[in-house]
Chains A and B, each alone.
Chain A
Amino acid sequence: MDLSYGEEAEALRREVRAFVEEHRTQAPLGAIGLGGRPDERVRRWQALLIERGYAARNVPREYGGFGAPPDPLARIVIDEEFARAGISRGIGGQGPDMLVPTLLEHGTEEQRRRYVGPTLRGEMVWCQGYSEPEAGSDLANVRTSAVLEGDDFVVTGHKIWTTSAHFSDMMFCLVRTEPERPRHAGLSYLLIPMASAGISVQPLMTMTGKAEFNQVFFDGVRVPRASIVGERGEGWRIANATLVHERNMLGSAAQIDALFQALLRLARTETRDDRPLIEDPLVRDRLMRLQAEVLAARWHASRLLSTRLRGEPVGIAGLVVKLTGCELAHQISSTALELLGEVGALYERSPHERAGGLWVFQQMFSLGLIIGGGTAQIQKNIIGERGLGLPREARGDV
């Protein structure tokens, strides 16, 4: 057992810390990529991070990344230092965190050159077109069809719960190209410009009161044949590769830690009956209980990393990340609301609201993430079946 990161990583830490100190004031705060398109300021910040190797670190230079060889410890060091300072880690979300790794693994040279750079720089924004009204947990039930006509696929169908579609340039989309094949084998993965003729986007308000969701309708949308990632019929495998990246993103220990640090700051500054909340033994107990879980998540991430570095399979330890990480994030924001009492319920720029309603938003949003990207129940099925080897539940239609 050796917990040190090594001299190389520590040297990087000193460098990152100096960078963070120097640029603190110009850095955007918190997470980026949900509310809308990255603005000029955010894109400049992102460009600076890529130039320094703090974003897109391992993406090859020819595709617009920094081009460092795989060095996962570096990424952790950078995460830690940025979280400590509470400043933005750059542009994340469905494009950079999910599509880019998928294209690097499965895309053609042409697709990588065309899409990776602009996506990393925040110039091209992506949404994920998987779910349909009849295909949520049962994703293989996708019915949106893509029929090859000449050099184009013609896409017809209906996607739902599509986060960010209303301001996205592109969608990575799961479609049915081989209706005659069995369910999973009939799917393909297409990259579709949202400006294509025949696409209409209908915003769908979420419980947070913001229009994060959409329905997307395809009516004979023509997409060049070269927009397919992988082969026809490989869509299921590739979509699942993207989902693995999504689940890692959603359960990210660095984000959970950043949220917990914000909770600690809240407990230190907030007072009730003129006493700082942090002095309340009950509050201290709750915070320390959460901290243990946050530390567990953090070291769990290190364990997964070490295992992968050794080239060994992570097994069940990897399967639990989405389930536990999303629940923990929800518990952290729920605790913040407990600390705030009545004022925690304030929203929509009410007088006396704290942090712009961040916590009440987070508490709802983190519940959404428990459902999105594979529900908690589906995660438990996966843990039970793939992790523990329990028998599968019977399907209704086979």
Chain B
Amino acid sequence: MDFGLSAEQLLLEESLGGLLDARAPTQRARALAAADDAFDPDLWQAVVGLGVTGILVPVEHGGSGLGLLDAAVAAWTVGARATPLPFLGTTVMAPVALRTAGTPEQQGRYLPRIVRGELRIGIAATEAISKRDGAGIRRDGGVLTGSALFVIDAESADVFLIAVEDGSLALLPRDARGLEVRRLVTVDRTRRVGELVLGSVPVAEWLGAAPDTAAQATRRMIDAGRLMLAADALGAADRALALAVEWAKTRRQFGRTIGSFQAVKHLCAEMAAAIEPARSLLWWAAHAFDHLPDEAALAATHAKAHLTEVASQVVRTATEVHGGTGFTAECDVQLFFKRAALDRHLLGSPALLREHAARLQGL
């Protein structure tokens, strides 16, 4: 039995964390979040330089052929700094889909460019989970029509990977005729989601010839995405707790450090008690994605539901520990409050995921 992070994983956390702390401290994250365009090409290239975009890409395509747990390390490291980066679509969901359903030719064409940071992929998969506002992309032969909401990393994507209603997966360049990309603004401005509107767009490229393969790729890509959102929420919760503890150790009222009031101490202890087992759940779930095929889907579903529940509770409590300061925009806890709010609902809200978890077990 050896359940824990490897030396390499700890090193990745340290080097990526160090890079982000140096190049994108929360002040920089705030500036990017406030800007019209949150994509910072220099920062992206620095992250690419560390090999992050190659984590899930096989060695023969220039990557390092690592696993979901390694990607999760990167995800919580980013989440703990609320860094605006197009991480989820390009680095995780697209490579998983391409590995599962791409032809050797497609893998050879896309994966090396992903590794080198030359290509970013946005993911339209919301409607494969649930639909609002009449959204959904329909296919008629080789032509797509309809709209997709909450497209991940839409802002800086060069190519979109689109889950179509009939189960197929389309690859569409951003400049395809008839494709309109709209901006959606969420409470978390450190990540940019969008809406795709397709008015009869002919599609030249599909992923997964057989419908089964495409459906399998969609499922795997969504599970991977959920694990990353769970990891991002863990990072946000970790940092919110660290900020709260720091505050509780320094802020004084009634002639005492507030952390010496049992009410405040227990709030902090409860956050830690919620986070630590959740961290173990996430490690297991990320490991299961690559190594425990029978448990992978259930593990990813529970991890996303549970980690985002924990994070919601933690960011709220951390705000309370900060008192009036916690309610101000300049308090860093708010970056994580908002980050966790979006993590919670992208790719399936907790209640929906719990229902899915029951169905996965034939319950």
Question: B61 in the interface, Cβ–Cβ < 8 Å?
Answer: no
Asked if B131 and A273 make an inter-chain contact with CB atoms under 8 angstroms apart, the answer reads yes
Chain B residues whose CB sits within 8 angstroms of the CB of A367 once the complex forms: 316, 319-320, 327
Picked from B187, B253, B257, B331, the residue with its CB within 8 Å of the CB of A138 is: B253
State which of B8-16, B63-71, B108-116, B346-354 sits at the interface with chain A. B346-354
Q: How far is the CA of A371 from the CA of B320 in the complex (A)?
A: 6
Max chain A Cβ within 10 angstroms of own Cβ: one of B316, B326, B329: B329
**Interface 1/0 per residue, A345-358 and B, CB below 8 Å:** 11111111100000
Among candidates A137, A282, A368, residue contacting B327 with C-beta atoms closer than 8 Å: A368
Check if A272 is an interface residue, CB within 8 A of chain B: yes
Most A C-beta atoms less than 10 A away, residue of B264, B319, B346: B319
Q: Is the CB of A345 within 8 A of B188?
A: yes
Task: Report if A344 contacts B (CB, 8 A).
Answer: yes
Are A206 and B184 CB-contacts (below 8 A) given A341-B130, A343-B132, A377-B264?
A: no
Bound together, the chains give a CA A398 to CA B255 distance in angstroms of: 8
Closest A residue, CB atoms, query B320: A371
Q: If the complex has contacts A360-B187, A371-B323, are A137 and B253 also in contact, measured as CB distance less than 8 A? A: yes
Interface residue? B324 (CB, 8 A): yes
Partner of A207, one of B132, B320, B337, B352: B337
Q: How far is the CB of B259 from chain A (nearest CB, A)?
A: 12
> Which residues of chain B come closer than 8 Å to A131, judged between CB atoms?
324
CA distance A146 to B133 in the complex (A): 59
B284: A residues at CB distance < 8 A: none
User: Which residues of chain A have C-beta atoms less than 8 A from B188's C-beta?
Assistant: 345
The minimal Cβ–Cβ distance linking B135 to chain A, given in whole angstroms, is 9
B256 in contact (CB, < 8 A): yes
A238 to B255, CA, bound (A): 24
Which residues of chain A come closer than 8 Å to B256, judged between CB atoms? 395-397
Q: Which of A136, A141, A341, A397 contacts B323 (CB 8 A)?
A: A136
Q: What chain B residues lie within 8 Å of A351 (beta carbons)?
A: 182, 184, 195
Contact indicator A377/B263 (Cβ below 8 Å): yes
A338 is an interface residue with CB less than 8 A from chain B: yes
B255 lies within 8 A of A345 (CB): no
Chain A residues near B261 (CB-CB < 8 A): 377, 393
Is A161's beta carbon under 8 Å from chain B? yes
**CA gap between A367 and B323 in the complex, in Å:** 10
Option from A138, A338, A397 in Cβ contact (under 8 Å) with B351: A338
The answer on a CB contact under 8 Å between B184 and A207 is no
Q: A338-B349, A367-B316 are in contact. Are A137 and B323 (CB under 8 A)?
A: yes
A380 within 8 Å of B (CB atoms): yes
Q: Is B341 an interface residue (CB 8 A)?
A: yes
A342 touches B149 (CB 8 A): yes
A235 to B100, CA, bound (A): 71
Residues on B with beta carbons closer than 8 Å to the beta carbon of A341: 130, 132, 345, 349, 352
CA A57 to CA B164, docked complex, whole Å: 60
- Whether A352 touches B328, Cβ cut-off 8 Å, given contacts A346-B186, A347-B186, A393-B261, is no
Cβ of A254 < 8 Å from any Cβ of B?
Answer: no
The distance in angstroms between the C-alpha atoms of A348 and B261, with both chains bound, is 38
Contact of A206 among B328, B341, B351 (CB under 8 A): B328
- A325-348 CB mask vs B (1 if < 8 Å, else 0) is 000000000000110011111111
Let me know if B126 is at the binding interface, CB within 8 A. Answer: yes
Q: How far is the CB of B79 from chain A (nearest CB, A)?
A: 16
CB of B337, distance to nearest CB on chain A (Å): 7
Could you say which residues of chain A place their CB within 8 Å of the CB of B352? 341
Q: Which of B279-318 contact A (CB under 8 A)?
A: 316
> A342 near B255 (CB under 8 angstroms)?
no
- Which residues of chain A in 352-398 are interfacial with respect to chain B, using CB atoms and an 8 Å cutoff? 352-353, 360, 364, 367-368, 370-372, 375-377, 380-381, 393, 395-398
A26 within 8 A of B: no
In the assembled complex, which residues on chain B have CB atoms less than 8 Å from the CB atom of A206? 327-329
Q: How far is the CA of A48 from the CA of B188 in the complex (A)?
A: 42
Chain A: minimal CB distance from B252 (Å): 8
A136 to B328, CA, bound (A): 14
| Minimum CB–CB distance for B87 against chain A, Å | 18
- Partner of B345 from the list A282, A345, A380 (CB cut-off 8 Å) is A345
Proximity bits, B320-345, A CB within 8 Å = 1, else 0? 10011011111100100110011001
Is A204 an interface position by the 8 A CB rule? yes
Q: Whole-angstrom distance between the alpha carbons of A371 and B263 in the complex? A: 14
Query: Which among A141, A161, A360 is the interface contact of B324 at CB below 8 angstroms?
Result: A161
A167 contacts chain B at the CB level, 8 A cutoff:
no
Are A160's CB and B324's CB within 8 A? yes
Tell me if B39 is interfacial: C-beta within 8 Å of chain A: no
Residue A209 at the chain B interface, CB threshold 8 Å? yes
Asked whether, in the complex, the Cβ of B132 is within 8 Å of the Cβ of A345, the reply is: no
Which of chain A's residues has its CB closest to B322's CB? A371
Q: Which residue from chain B places its CB closest to the CB of A377 in the assembled complex?
A: B263
**Residue pair A136, B345 in contact (C-beta under 8 Å):** no
Instruction: Verify if A271 is at the interface (C-beta below 8 Å from B).
Output: yes
Decide yes or no whether A213 CB sits under 8 A from chain B.
yes
* B123 CB, nearest partner CB in chain A, Å: 14
Known A138-B253, A341-B352; judge A371-B184 contact (CB<8 A): no
Q: Is the CB of B320 within 8 A of A213?
A: no
Residues of B contacting A141 in the complex (Cβ-Cβ under 8 angstroms):
253-254
Q: What are 29 pairs between A and B in contact, CB < 8 Å?
A: A136-B253, A136-B323, A141-B253, A160-B324, A205-B329, A207-B319, A207-B338, A213-B328, A272-B130, A273-B130, A341-B130, A342-B150, A342-B345, A343-B149, A346-B187, A349-B185, A350-B183, A351-B184, A352-B133, A352-B149, A352-B195, A367-B316, A367-B327, A370-B320, A371-B324, A372-B327, A377-B261, A395-B255, A396-B252
A-B pairs, top 10 by smallest CB distance, nearest first, are A397-B255, A396-B255, A396-B256, A350-B185, A205-B329, A138-B253, A161-B324, A377-B263, A345-B186, A207-B334
Known: A341-B345, A346-B187, A397-B255. 6 other contacts (CB 8 A): A338-B351, A349-B185, A350-B184, A350-B185, A352-B133, A367-B320
- B residues engaging A (CB < 8 A)? 126, 130-133, 149-150, 182-188, 195, 252-257, 260-264, 267, 316, 319-320, 323-324, 326-331, 334, 337-338, 341-342, 345-346, 349-352, 355
